Structure 1
Amino acid sequence: MENTQQSSLADALVIEHKSLSELDDVHIIINWNEIEKTLSSLYSSVPGAPAYPPLMMFKILILQAWYNLSDEALEKQIARDLMFRRFIDLSLCEPVPDHSSIWRFRQLLNTENLLEPLLEQINTHLEQNSIIVALGSINIIDATVTEAKQSRKRKGKDDNNTQDPEASYNVKTAVDGKRKTTYGYKMHANTDEDGFVKKMSYTPGNVHDSQEFDKLLDTYKTKDKIKTCGEVYADSAYANKKNNEKIGKQNNKVLHRAYRNKPLTKQQKQDNKQRSSIRYVVERTFGLLKLHHGLGKARYLGLARNKARAQLIAMSHNLKTGMNIFKEMQRLKGLRGYCVQ
Structure 2
Amino acid sequence: MFSLFADQEREAKLDSLGDPLALLDKHVDFVALAAEIDRRVPRPSRAKGGRPPYPTELMTRLLVLQQLFNLSDEQMEFQLLDRMSFQRFAGVKHTGRVPDRNTIWCFRERLVKANVEHQIFAEVQLQLQAQGFQAREGQIIDASIVRAPTQHNTADEQAVVKERAIPVEWSPAKRRQKDVEARWTKKHGKSYFGYKLSVSVDRRHKLIRCVRVSDASEADTLHLVDVLDRGNSSRDFWADRGYHDKPRERWLKLIGWRPHIQRKGQAGKPIHERSKARNKRLASPRARVEHVFASLTQMGGKVVRSIGLARAEFSLVVKSAVYNLKRMSSLLEMA
Moved more, 279-288 or 57-66: 279-288
Determine helix, strand or coil for the equivalent of 2:22: coil
Name 2:218's counterpart in structure 1. Answer: 207
Name 2:258's counterpart in structure 1. Answer: 251
Structure 1: 4+ residue segments shifted above 6 A = 154-162
Matched, 1:183 2:193: yes
CA distance in 2, matches of 1:26, 1:230: 31
**1:276 alignment partner, one of 247, 261, 283:** 283
TM-score (norm 1): 0.78
The alpha carbon displacement at 1:306 in A equals 1.5
The alpha carbon displacement at 1:322 in A equals 2.1
Partner deviation per Cα, 1:49-105 (whole Å, 9 max, x = no partner): 971111211110110111111110001111122211221222422411111111111
CA distance in 1, matches of 2:53, 2:63: 16
- Maintained 8 Å contact 1:85/1:91: yes
CA distance in 2, matches of 1:92, 1:127: 34
**1:236 alignment partner, one of 235, 241, 253:** 241
Percent identity, aligned pairs only, is 24
**2:318 alignment partner, one of 300, 312, 316:** 312
- Maintained 8 Å contact 2:41/2:111: no
The alpha carbon displacement at 1:258 in A equals 3.5
- Maintained 8 Å contact 1:218/1:229: no
Q: Which amino acid aligns with 1:276?
A: A
CA distance in 2, matches of 1:54, 1:230: 39
Query: Aligned-residue CA RMSD in angstroms?
Result: 3.1
Q: How does 1:4-43 map to 2 (within 5 A)?
A: 14-15=7-8, 16-19=11-14, 22=19, 23-41=21-39
Moved more, 91-100 or 157-166: 157-166
- Maintained 8 Å contact 1:228/1:247: no
Determine helix, strand or coil for the equivalent of 2:206: coil
The structure-2 alpha-carbon separation of the partners of 1:48 and 1:181, relative to structure 1 and needing over 3 Å to count, comes to: farther
The structure-2 alpha-carbon separation of the partners of 1:263 and 1:187, relative to structure 1 and needing over 3 Å to count, comes to: same
TM-score (norm 2): 0.80
CA distance in 1, matches of 2:276, 2:145: 27
CA distance in 2, matches of 1:310, 1:250: 27
The structure-2 alpha-carbon separation of the partners of 1:228 and 1:19, relative to structure 1 and needing over 3 Å to count, comes to: closer
Name 2:162's counterpart in structure 1. Answer: none
CA distance in 1, matches of 2:225, 2:117: 19
- Maintained 8 Å contact 1:142/1:235: yes
Matched, 1:303 2:289: no
CA distance in 2, matches of 1:96, 1:281: 40
The structure-2 alpha-carbon separation of the partners of 1:263 and 1:64, relative to structure 1 and needing over 3 Å to count, comes to: same
- Maintained 8 Å contact 1:144/1:187: yes
The structure-2 alpha-carbon separation of the partners of 1:137 and 1:107, relative to structure 1 and needing over 3 Å to count, comes to: farther
Q: Which amino acid aligns with 2:198?
A: H
Name 1:128's counterpart in structure 2. Answer: 130
The structure-2 alpha-carbon separation of the partners of 1:150 and 1:260, relative to structure 1 and needing over 3 Å to count, comes to: closer
Matched, 1:146 2:146: yes
Partner deviation per Cα, 1:219-271 (whole Å, 9 max, x = no partner): 16xxxxxx995311112222221244225576211113445676545443322
- Maintained 8 Å contact 1:170/1:183: yes
- Maintained 8 Å contact 1:78/1:85: yes
Name 2:207's counterpart in structure 1. Answer: 196
Aligned length: 304
CA distance in 1, matches of 2:43, 2:63: 21
Partner deviation per Cα, 1:308-332 (whole Å, 9 max, x = no partner): 1112221222222222222222xxx
Moved more, 241-250 or 187-196: 241-250
The alpha carbon displacement at 1:123 in A equals 2.8
Name 1:85's counterpart in structure 2. Answer: 87
The alpha carbon displacement at 1:196 in A equals 1.9
